[in-house]
Each structure stands twice: as structure tokens, then as C-alpha cells.
């Protein structure tokens, strides 16, 4: 028994439904730098179950994560491992920059000579002496 879900045609393969972006595109929402389309990016869990292997194979080609709904409410987000790694790296980078800015605000900074001296001390290397000709 074919069942139409969210305006899609159940008889069409998942790939062809997704390629009809302009025809079925719902309102677009901006999330950071990526556009979010409700007609393409949200699917009910029943559709995910019915087309799991096809959807998973196409994750790398998707420009955005896929939101899975349960009883009409968001329940999960499915994305490619590459996209997950990108988001995790971006989050770590932003956290590192925020920590660095907090250190600057708190005055926890070193000038170049202090940093070199501390590193050499941690490595157990004596600071090189300047030659008399360099003075």
C-alpha cells in the first residue's frame, strides 16, 4: 500500500524526490551558512525506516543534515560522517578561540621571550647565550 508523506510521492525512489528541490521546496531557513529547506530536510521516521539504506548511501552527497521526525516533532538528525567531523572541528576551533580571547582578557599572556624561556625550561634546555659579536 503506497502512502504519500509530506507531499512526496511514495512510488518514486527517494533520490528522485530529493532531486525535485525546486518543485517541492518549502520555506528556507538560515542556520549559520547553510540553507535549510523543510520539504527536503525533514522526513518522518517511517520514511527513514522504509528507505534507510538508500538514504544512508546518499548522505555524503547531501549539503545539509536530515531531520527525522517522530509524531510530527524533531527526534533525530542524520548526517554524513564527513559533515559531523566538520561540525565537531568547527566547534573545537571556536571553543579554542574563545578560550584564547578569555586568556587575553584575564591578562594570561606572554611576550615572545617569556614564551621561549618557558618552553626551553620545560624541555630542560638552557637558554642559548648571545655571542659578544651579536651585541
> If we measure between CA atoms, which residue out of 83, 53, 79 comes closest to residue 68?
79
What is the arithmetic mean of pLDDT over 116-123?
Answer: 90
CB contact at 8 A, 28 and 36 = yes
Partner residues linked to 37 by β-bridges: 28
Q: How confident is the model at residue 36, as a pLDDT?
A: 64
Q: What is the pLDDT of residues 60-70, one digit of tens each?
A: 998 889 999 99
Please give the share of the chain, as a percent, with pLDDT higher than 90. 53
Q: Quick one: cell of 130?
A: 648571545
pLDDT confidence band for 54 (50 / 70 / 90): very high
Q: What is the DSSP string of 55-110?
A: HHHTGGG-SS-EEEEETTEEEEEE--HHHHHHHHHHHHHHHHHHHHHHHHHHT---
Quick one: pLDDT band at residue 125, thresholds 50, 70, 90?
confident
pLDDT at 57: 94
Question: Hey, what's the cell of 67?
Answer: 531531520
Q: How far apart are CA 3 and CA 24, in angstroms?
A: 17
> Which has more pLDDT, 128 or 16?
128
At 40 the pLDDT is 83
Section 103-111 average pLDDT: 93
**pLDDT computed for residue 110 by the predictor:** 86
Q: What is the pLDDT of residues 19-40, one digit of tens each?
A: 544 444 444 444 455 666 767 8
pTM recorded for the entire structure? 0.56
Amino acid at each position: 500500500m503506497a502512502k504519500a508523506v509530506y507531499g512526496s510521492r511514495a512510488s518514486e525512489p527517494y533520490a528522485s524526490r530529493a532531486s525535485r528541490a525546486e518543485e517541492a521546496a518549502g520555506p528556507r531557513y538560515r542556520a549559520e551558512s547553510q540553507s535549510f529547506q523543510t520539504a527536503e530536510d525533514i522526513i518522518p521516521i517511517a520514511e527513514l525506516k522504509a528507505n534507510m539504506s538508500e538514504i544512508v548511501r546518499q548522505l555524503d552527497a547531501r549539503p545539509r543534515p536530515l531531520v527525522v521526525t517522530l509524531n510530527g516533532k524533531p527526534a533525530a538528525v542524520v548526517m554524513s560522517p564527513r559533515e559531523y567531523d566538520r561540525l565537531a572541528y568547527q566547534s573545537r576551533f571556536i571553543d579554542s578561540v574563545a578560550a584564547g580571547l578569555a586568556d587575553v582578557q584575564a591578562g594570561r599572556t606572554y611576550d615572545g621571550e617569556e614564551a621561549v624561556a618557558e618552553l626551553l625550561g620545560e624541555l630542560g634546555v638552557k637558554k642559548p647565550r648571545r655571542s659578544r659579536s651579536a651585541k
